[in-house]
Structure 1
């Protein structure tokens, strides 16, 4: 197969959950630029519609749909709508998260709320969308984790800032995503579906200067991730170019943890 065809997503129906977020918009853009029919979801349909509108103005095929990941009825509604309106699903980018917990000492009820969406709700979504992908002939599930799912925090990055009180659910959730992908790759062996994780390092978002200085001097490439860095990796894992990559976690951190 020609290399351009290997990376093409023409004819592929792709869901990006949380597509209006920072990485979400990057993912929607890259997958649509590769020719995919991309559905961006949000609990707030207006937010999804705004995101879709931005990319449709550029001639990209992006559609909005509402999804509350913590609501089983909403997950089922998305599954039915995808079948009815698009004929199935080929790729899920499992990107949506909720961050109710603001630090180590936050009320334990906030940890429970996080798990309801980021663990129970996420598992519900991935299981239902995986079933639809299998019924559609196969494809790929890409979960967006974090390098913080692989290691503890480097607190020296936060010296000189007020950013150091890190929420434990973030680390718990991202670590779980990585091993869940390995589990699912084995559980669905022989069904023409692949499960992989992308674990990005920090994404530049105009963080305080002390944080940027502390962080970037440790990165061999000398910078944080930008909005294009994740796009090619997502297209690789969604396309035939990544057809033999399964059960993997790919660290995308500019060499920080080399």
Structure 2
């Protein structure tokens, strides 16, 4: 069992959008060096939970404590489809926390960008417009953006959804490599390959953790005690 202190602790997370309650009192700890997968039906609050952990959606009530840097890769469909950036430009966005928003990229940073793109097999696409890439290629570029910052906490929203088999395998390999280096990874996903390798699976329904769902005998917790 991993006894490292958690990278993020969510206590009583509640989010309302007008009359809609997206999250209702979520308690969750994300363990360092482990993969947590959040599952559930459409509208369950999965993406909202990830956004709350990332700090991009404010809480109506509750707290989130984070230890270390965070990298958040939202769903591809959440991005403006005609961004006037190349694939390399998109990956470079992931260096802003380390390099600063307006500072010129150092040779080391350029090397890190190339390495992240090579890991996701998109280095040959570096100078192509991001908007001209296929869905699988765009997703791999965005994952490379998440990797290049070498964050302590990597959050991925549906990373393998609607991508080709090669892209999915590269993304799965990247997730495994990130946890192996000691990063905390949390994904929203229905992909059984991610679920089967997760240390923790969190089933959401109606903005709450569905405590009625058990682990079907794998001996792995569905959510932290």
Q: TM-score, normalised by structure 2?
A: 0.35
Q: TM-score, normalised by structure 1?
A: 0.31
Q: Pick the structure with more helix per residue.
A: 1
